[in-house]
Structure 1
Amino acid sequence: MVTTQIEPGTNVVTIEVGGDLGADEMAACRRTLEEVEAEHGSLRLLARYGDVDLTRIAPRAYLEDLENVPLVRHVERCAIVAHQRWVRAVSELGGRIVPGELRTFDRGETDAARAWLLS
């Protein structure tokens, strides 16, 4: 499952990730990000990861996710909220190639992540 929610009037998009991940959900997420970027010129992302079963990710979902790469240059800030250490570690590694700021937070730190994102 991948869902998105736009904070009205802002460039902040919350992305919830958990369970099975399908290609259609990934494509819908990308369309939302493209819309917000077109309207505001940049993105601030709050990505919250629940339990993700890597064996239940549709192969096409990986390809759809790669379609997001051009959007990376428009990310001002990205807050990753996850309880899994591997998700935070991979995110921090990826943060080295993202031109904007990226920080990781533990699952219980969603409010702190949102505050940092909006500061």
Structure 2
Amino acid sequence: MSESWTYREGVAPDPDLSLIGYDVEATDGKVGPVDEESNVAGDSYLVVDTGLWIFGKKAVVPAAAVTRVDPEENKIYLSRTKEEIKNAPEFDEETYKDPAYRQKIGDYYGRFSYAP
């Protein structure tokens, strides 16, 4: 796995805090709520339900795209636009945990700077 799957320094959420249900905000607006999360070291990600915005879809977002977690507002902020998330490799319920799919996601998001 690449650095895509690791939270930035100072951004990692409290390990006892569940992010499920938190609203995810791209740089240009709301993406949707967190449906699933992984906080495994070097393999951290969010599965975001984009159903309000892209009907019936989900997206895997690597931890490095997270710029801030706000537990008071129940929000997660990303360094990605809605368009970048929309254009990511298609979410597949059957394969999203497979190394080959995760490599495609990491490669896709790795093309963009992780600067805030």
Query: What band does the TM-score fall into relative to the shorter chain?
Result: under 0.3
**Larger RCO, structure (CA 8 Å, separation 6 or more):** 2
TM-score by length of 1: 0.26
TM-score by length of 2: 0.26
Which structure's CA Rg is the greater one? 1
Instruction: Choose between structure 1 and 2: higher strand proportion.
Output: 1
Instruction: Choose between structure 1 and 2: higher helix proportion.
Output: 1
